[in-house]
Amino acid sequence: MKKTFPMIRCASGALLIAALTWGGAASAQFKVGFMATLSGPAAALGQDMYDGFMLGLEHSGGKFGGVEVEVIREDDQLKPDLAVQTVNRFIERDQVDVVAGVTFSNVMMAIAKPLADSNTIFMGTNAGPAPLAGERCAPNFFFVSYQNDQQAEGVGKYATDKGFKNVYLMAPNYQAGKDAVGGFKRYYKGAVAGEVYTRVNQPDYSAEIAQLQAANPDAVFVFYPGGMGINFIKQFRQAGLLDKIPLLSVSSFDGSTLPALKETALGAISGSFWGADFDNAVNQKFVTDFEAKYGRIPSQYAAQSYDGALLLNSAIKKIGGQYKDKNALMAALRAAEFDSVRGDFKFNKNGFPIHDMYVFEVAPDAKGRVSHKTLQKTLPAHPDSYVGQCPL
Amino acid sequence: MTLNLVLGQALNGLQFGILLFLMAAGLTLVFGIMSFVNLAHGSLYMFGAYFAATVASHSGSFLLAIVSAMLLIFLLGAAIDRAGLSILHRRSHLDQVLATFGLVLFSNELVRVVWGNAPIYMDAPDYLSDAVNIFGLNYPAYRFAIIVAGLLVALGLYLLIERTRIGMLIRAGASNRTMVSALGVNIAWLNRFVFALGAGLAGLAGALVGPILSVEPGMGEPVLILTLVVIVIGGIGSIRGAFFGAIVVGLVDTMGRVFVPIWLRAAFDPAMATAIGPALASMLVYLLMAVILAFKPEGLFPVRARG
């Protein structure tokens, strides 16, 4: 028995050396922990985010600023508790350099604390809840998407410019729904014909649509993401209202739902900061290559995440690949020296973008497929409404 | 609150009730006659919607889509009963719940693998895509067509169950299954027919909602819950109970969503009414169920003397 000890020691020594060299090799890779909602009814959103991000990485030559990249992909299943575990694993076991993605605001709020406490760089590519733009803003948070209220604010401005005097508001009965309605009202100056909050994931809107019809508004504003938007607009059109009452929306009739709607949604107005028809060179390349690779028109979720990859690439390039210097990397991210698919892009002090808001009409594109057509810019260089509460 | 609004909402409630009836008729027969709890009934509804959408997009014919979806789900029902569900008939309800819940999860993933994560497209045919005028009220033509189709199916079911030999056996099976078997009726075949019939009706319901609702994975579960409420209210095993239960649930749910917030706004300040209105309205159906169960524990139209 005695003789075996040196053998074991030798073997474990060799293993240790192997582990150290292997570990050393691994640390030369820039690690991204990409978490999004990749299963359940909202999986299409997370899939677009991931695909957009990976296309951005591919367009950066498969590297960020010349550094090899490893992307760890995780599904949060839209469960905040599971998301917290995943993020803790990203931070402690995988020791990622950046956590990215995050589809839903409730998940975002749950993981904000572990990220802020560990000072891990976070790059959000969709959810942008108000508290993180306001009092709970953090220097290591970068949202390359938008603050939740911004798009609704743009549509509110559009309603005011159009001279609508009596708008009917509808949203699901949860925080994001109330935020969208709140954002709209911040820039809309007319009267409110009615404000209705429906059950989350309610399939049938016939009762609410009949009420809406009775109120006789000059326009309707809705926030119905995913399947809810599909249900709503099908029923709105079948009631014969789509031609009669202008339908304004955010996050409802977008790249994630238009394939299931096609002509049904023609004429609906949608507010965003990006459209597939933007004619800047970066966007043209993104849209063309995304379609060629994945066989569908990219959604806003894909565009934001693509921007995220380009931003990381620009920042690491700017600091000469020395990404382990966290402060330098954060400063380079904040500088945002990349060409965004949306055109002008600048970070505010709270890590949320200052960018132009547009409205779009659902209309056939050049190839005759149903997509978004840019109508007009509503709020140029628009900062979010919570930056004043950010102590940074 | 005009008369038109009330009439419109009554039609909406009726239409919703009719859809619930198509779901509940199958579920109540299977539960009542075979004493089989089938949570996967909602999955058959989902498959109905997916089949209809697929057939509609390939053939361009809406009627063909509806009819073929119903037939395919009828056959699918017979097939899964043959393939294994029939083994569960004799097992405890808990086993049935576990097995069919597993089927729900499996079906949702299967749909995701075959058709993808994103909702798929289905629209009403052009001749039903506008509104019709009923007593001066503009009502969506497609929803009106659902009401008519559903009432025809209800009539057909009534004739099948009350006026045909197989209907007689089904009724006898609901009352006393052992005795029917003892009289020389092949209860396995009767069961399979009933199960497939229920599946076909669920498939029809799914196909009919395609143009109104988003066709997506997991679309069956919300409607399954209300369907269970309907059969509990109506009395398990009773087609008549399923019909009236469905209409009552449809009307209460729809009317509640409209009028509860209006009444609350009259009684409380608007902010509070907006906050509690939607929550209270969505509880209404379950309150109704609790009240009915308190006074009539067997449901509104109980099937007598079950064996």
pLDDT for residue B229? 93
Lowest average pLDDT, out of A55-64, A207-216, A241-250, A295-304, goes to A207-216
pLDDT tens-place string over residues B68-107: 999 999 999 999 988 877 788 888 889 999 999 999 999 9
- Subunit contact A237:B129, Cβ cutoff 8 A: yes
User: Is the pLDDT reported for residue B153 higher than 60?
Assistant: yes
**What average pLDDT does range B267-272 have in this prediction?**
74
Lowest average pLDDT, out of A359-373, B5-19, B118-132, B204-218, goes to B118-132
ipTM of the complex: 0.76
**What average pLDDT does range A276-294 have in this prediction?**
94
Facing A239 at nearest CB: one of B140, B216, B279: B140
Q: Which one is predicted more confidently, B241 or A22? A: B241
Percent of chain A with pLDDT over 90: 71
Facing B278 at nearest CB: one of A197, A213, A227: A197
**What average pLDDT does range A242-260 have in this prediction?**
89
C-alpha span between B255 and B12 (Å, rounded): 9
- Subunit contact A238:B279, Cβ cutoff 8 A: no
Percent of chain B with pLDDT over 90: 44
Task: Report yes or no: A175 at the B interface, CB cutoff 8 Å.
Answer: no
Domain with CATH 3.40.50.2300 in chain A: 29-146+278-351, 149-272+359-382
Q: Which one is predicted more confidently, B257 or A320? A: A320
The CATH superfamily of A29-146+278-351 is Response regulator (3.40.50.2300)
User: Is the pLDDT reported for residue A298 higher than 50?
Assistant: yes
- Residue B291 corresponds to which amino acid? V
Task: Report yes or no: A230 at the B interface, CB cutoff 8 Å.
Answer: yes
Mean pLDDT of chain A: 89
Map residue A93 onto helix, strand or coil. coil
C-alpha span between A375 and A362 (Å, rounded): 10
Q: Please, what sign has the CA dihedral across residues A8, A10, A11, A15?
A: positive
**What average pLDDT does range B49-68 have in this prediction?**
94
User: Is the pLDDT reported for residue A17 higher than 70?
Assistant: no
Task: Assign A197 a pLDDT band (cuts: 50, 70, 90).
Answer: confident
Lowest average pLDDT, out of A3-12, A149-158, A341-350, B272-281, goes to A3-12
For the entire predicted model, the pTM comes to 0.81
pLDDT for residue B73? 96
Residue B97 to chain A, least CA–CA distance (Å): 22
- Subunit contact B8:A44, Cβ cutoff 8 A: no
Facing A214 at nearest CB: one of B2, B139, B214: B2
User: Is the pLDDT reported for residue A264 higher than 90?
Assistant: no
pLDDT tens-place string over residues A336-369: 999 999 999 999 999 999 999 999 999 998 888 8
Task: Report yes or no: B133 at the A interface, CB cutoff 8 Å.
Answer: no
| Burial group, residue A14, by CB count within 10 angstroms (0-12, 13-18, 19+) | exposed
Write a three-state SS string for chain B. CCHHHHHHHHHHHHHHHHHHHHHHHHHHHHHHHHCCCCCCHHHHHHHHHHHHHHHHHHHCCHHHHHHHHHHHHHHHHHHHHHHCHHHHHHCCHHHHHHHHHHHHHHHHHHHHHHHCCCCECCCCCHHHCCEEEECCEEEEHHHHHHHHHHHHHHHHHHHHHHHCHHHHHHHHHHHCHHHHHHCCCCHHHHHHHHHHHHHHHHHHHHHHHCCCCCECCCCHHHHHHHHHHHHHHHCCCCHHHHHHHHHHHHHHHHHHHHHHHHHHHHHCCHHHHHHHHHHHHHHHHHHHHHHHHHHCCCCCCCCCCCC
Give the list of residues 6+ apart from residue A348 with CB closer than 8 angstroms, or none. A354, A383, A384, A387
User: Is the pLDDT reported for residue B232 higher than 80?
Assistant: yes
Task: Assign B138 a pLDDT band (cuts: 50, 70, 90).
Answer: confident
Task: Assign A281 a pLDDT band (cuts: 50, 70, 90).
Answer: very high
Give the list of residues 6+ apart from residue B239 with CB closer than 8 angstroms, or none. B25, B28, B29, B157, B158, B161
Q: Which residues of B touch A234 (CB under 8 A)?
A: 123, 211-214
User: Is the pLDDT reported for residue B304 higher than 90?
Assistant: no
User: Is the pLDDT reported for residue B15 higher than 50?
Assistant: yes
pLDDT tens-place string over residues A320-331: 999 999 999 999
- Subunit contact A238:B140, Cβ cutoff 8 A: yes
Task: Report yes or no: A192 at the B interface, CB cutoff 8 Å.
Answer: no
pLDDT for residue A25? 42
Residue A141 pairs in a beta bridge with A122
**Which DSSP string do the residues of A293-320 spell out, in sequence order?**
HHSS---HHHHHHHHHHHHHHHHHHHTT
Give the list of residues 6+ apart from residue A249 with CB closer than 8 angstroms, or none. A155, A221, A222, A223, A224, A229, A268, A269, A270, A271
pLDDT for residue B75? 96
Task: Assign A24 a pLDDT band (cuts: 50, 70, 90).
Answer: very low
pLDDT tens-place string over residues A74-117: 999 889 999 999 999 999 999 999 999 999 988 999 999 999 99
pLDDT for residue B1? 53
Task: Assign A26 a pLDDT band (cuts: 50, 70, 90).
Answer: very low
User: Is the pLDDT reported for residue A6 higher than 80?
Assistant: no
pLDDT for residue B135? 75
pLDDT for residue A9? 53
Pairs across A and B, CB distance < 8 A: 120
Give the list of residues 6+ apart from residue A298 with CB closer than 8 angstroms, or none. A48, A51, A52, A255, A276, A286, A287, A290, A291, A306
pLDDT for residue A201? 78
pLDDT for residue B172? 84
**What average pLDDT does range A312-335 have in this prediction?**
94
Task: Assign A3 a pLDDT band (cuts: 50, 70, 90).
Answer: very low
pLDDT tens-place string over residues A60-78: 999 999 999 999 999 998 8
Residue B147 to chain A, least CA–CA distance (Å): 14
**What average pLDDT does range A311-325 have in this prediction?**
94
pLDDT tens-place string over residues A208-225: 898 898 889 999 999 998
Q: Which residues of B touch A198 (CB under 8 A)?
A: 257, 278
- Subunit contact A238:B218, Cβ cutoff 8 A: no
**What average pLDDT does range B144-153 have in this prediction?**
93
pLDDT for residue A12? 52
Of the CATH numbers 3.40.50.2300, 3.90.950.20, 3.30.360.10, 3.30.160.100, which one belongs to the domain with range A149-272+359-382? 3.40.50.2300
C-alpha span between A197 and A223 (Å, rounded): 10
User: Is the pLDDT reported for residue A21 higher than 50?
Assistant: no
Q: Which residues of B touch A41 (CB under 8 A)?
A: 216-218
Q: Closest by alpha carbon to A343, among A284, A283, A277?
A: A283
Q: Which residues of A touch B121 (CB under 8 A)?
A: 259-262
Facing B119 at nearest CB: one of A40, A203, A260: A260
Mean pLDDT of chain B: 87
